Amino acid sequence: MARYLNSPPHMDASRRIPIWVISTFAFIGGALAKAEAEEDRVYKVFFATEVEKVRTNKQKELAVDMSHNLMSAVEGSTQFSSLSQQFCDAAESLATRDIACRRHAIIAFHLLGRRFADRRRNAADKIVKLSPGFADSKAPADEQKRVSDAVVWAFTVLGDSSLAVGDRVGAATSFRRAQNIAISTKNSKLAAAVLALSTNIPQRADAYDQIKTLRTRLKTKLEGATAFDSLLRLHMTALDDPAGLIDLDAEFIPMDIQTRLKMASQPIGDLRFGSCYDLGLWYLTLAKSADDRGKSIAIDRAIVYFERATQIHPVGGSQFQRAAAPKTPRFVNSDAALEALLKAQLGNPPAVKFEEMEEMSKIREALKEVIALRETLKAPQSLFRLESIQSPSTRGVYENSIGMGFALVPRSERDLVERAFLLAVTEVTQQQWHDVMGNASSPWLKQSQVKEGAKYPAVYVSWEEATDFCKRLSAAHGRRYRLPYFQEWEFACRAGTSTRYSFGDTQVLLRQYAWYDVNTIGVGNMYAQEVATKIVNPWGIFDMHGNVHEWCAANIVDKGIQKGILRGGSWQRSASDCTSGAGWGEPVTFKSSTVGFRIVLEIQ
């Protein structure tokens, strides 16, 4: 009978980690109060001191760097309202130092308001306050566009807020200011979309009046279901405001609708394939029963969601594009454009499974249907369709002196994870191994089935050598690094899910998240691939499925042999060996081209 040895030790406080690269945040809490308390603690321990140092330092460059880092942190904090708010407030405190700092704060508040309905109005107020003189010819073009989009969004939010309290004059003023900004930035389509809001003020005001009445009727048992259906129609099509329904008591909203409302309230870059596909179908259904204005809003949403689904699907995704594929329009607006998009994306892909092709075919047919519906309408494109699509940031929250990024993983008593910890977002690379162990140490040198390079994982590393790596790094940095315990590893891999993989139960999407036998051996690449080249899991961690088996801290004694636990599958294994729960033991001296490791940085 195997028995588990070792348990997570308690550590004394040690030197603070320097934090200069902040770009994503992977964290999930239990109850709201506990989650917010833990988010507050993280900000105070890891960010507050660094922000205060920059705030009191007169060097403008430091303020610009920090405000950009705070903006990036909000970009990666897709689920965490309290922490995102603190990042935004910190960025705002630096806004007077330079116009670049102001741009970063505006973008941060836009992300906050788009993601969290309860902070939307406050975020819009902050953006308007920061917006005077935001235009800067020296700013990067993409950053300047994000700022102008944010300011337009803020004034439209204020306009709708005015309508909600019956102030049509205030609404007209806000919409006009939004339109002027769109015109000044030479964005004619965005200006047309805002103009449509202005010309529809009477209808939107009537919609808000109806909403007040319906919210009252919602609480009566006899009229509740009918009232909710009407509320849903008004928010989703007449107002294009799914976030406006999130504050309703859960008892009034069916579970599947709750899930869709939350997804539809998120920036599209945060969504995964399944969410985009489901929302596309939902909005297509809503379009069929809406009036012309509502129909155009629902169809635009459906088109964007379906297009995003084609971009991140295994068949249509960028990893299957030909190197010299021609550029295609961001939005398709005709059958011919759709055919060009699919041709460019499908190009000459490697062999794909039948179910993947069938899934892509369904998306294609759905896109054709919504495009055909859109061409029958004369309404301008909606604001949602014209907003910038920003994919979530993919680096770690913290970065140490040798460039190792870390994501925060919370405590979970249910999953036997007693304390929150920082987990490396990638496996230890060959470069990082050399940085700690010295250039003379290369366990993988002259071994079979290995490709050498700075970004390839360090392989042919035994459990004993991985443990030694952690000890040396700890001694050099004055903090405790170690291997993850097996339950910590699985908790971080699952990232809040209970499915076979962090993205669901089906193997159809595995190629996007993992290197395993199908996309390595199957195409003649008999070695571990570069780290961080696949999609991250929901907590911002790469390669938890496949690429290399990863050593865990706990070891077992089996028939007198001390063995380390390996998790995650590898490039040589099948899909069934790369699930979140996959794992087995090997002697602590075992080495292979399929075995590497990632490390934990403990939080004091």
The mean pLDDT values, 10 residues at a time, for the chain of 604 residues are 32 30 36 62 79 91 91 75 90 94 94 87 95 80 88 91 90 89 79 78 86 81 74 85 79 82 80 84 87 82 83 52 31 43 41 57 78 75 63 57 83 82 93 96 96 97 97 93 95 91 86 93 95 86 96 86 94 96 94 97 81
Of all helices (H) and strands (E), which one includes residue 206? helix 201-217
pLDDT in tens, 91-149: 999 999 999 999 999 999 998 998 888 898 999 999 999 998 777 777 888 888 889 88
pLDDT at 232: 87
pLDDT at 145: 87
Is the Cβ–Cβ distance between 147 and 156 less than 8 Å? no
d(CA 515, CA 529) in angstroms, rounded, equals: 7
Q: Which of 503, 493, 508, 498 is nearest to 542 (CA)?
A: 493
pLDDT at 394: 40
pLDDT at 341: 42
| DSSP annotation of 501 | B
Is the Cβ–Cβ distance between 127 and 93 less than 8 Å? no
**Which 3-state string (H, E, C) describes 69-116?**
HHHHHHHHCCCCHHHHHHHHHHHHHCHHHCHHHHHHHHHHHHHHHHHC
d(CA 300, CA 382) in angstroms, rounded, equals: 6
Q: Within 240-353, where are the H helices?
A: 255-264, 273-287, 292-312, 335-346
CA 394 to chain centroid, in Å, comes to 8
| DSSP annotation of 423 | E
pLDDT at 78: 65
d(CA 599, CA 427) in angstroms, rounded, equals: 8
Question: 456-486 in b/e burial notation, b at 16+ Cβ within 10 A?
Answer: bbbbbbbbbbbbebbeebbeebebbbbbbbb
163 three-class SS? helix
How many beta carbons lie within 10 A of that of residue 79, not counting itself?
19
Is the Cβ–Cβ distance between 437 and 472 less than 8 Å? yes
For the domain made up of 404-602, give the CATH fold: paralog of FGE (formylglycine-generating enzyme) (3.90.1580)
How many beta carbons lie within 10 A of that of residue 257, not counting itself?
16
pLDDT at 331: 37
d(CA 471, CA 461) in angstroms, rounded, equals: 15
d(CA 207, CA 155) in angstroms, rounded, equals: 19
Is the Cβ–Cβ distance between 495 and 539 less than 8 Å? yes
Strands 583-587 and 561-567, bridge-based pairing: antiparallel
d(CA 197, CA 190) in angstroms, rounded, equals: 11
Domain residue ranges of the chain, discontinuous segments joined by +: 32-245, 279-386, 404-602
CA 289 to chain centroid, in Å, comes to 32
Q: How many residues does the chain have?
A: 604
What is the model's pTM? 0.66
Residues whose CB is less than 8 angstroms from the CB of residue 296 and which lie 6 or more positions away in sequence, other chains included: 374, 377, 379, 380, 382
d(CA 408, CA 603) in angstroms, rounded, equals: 9
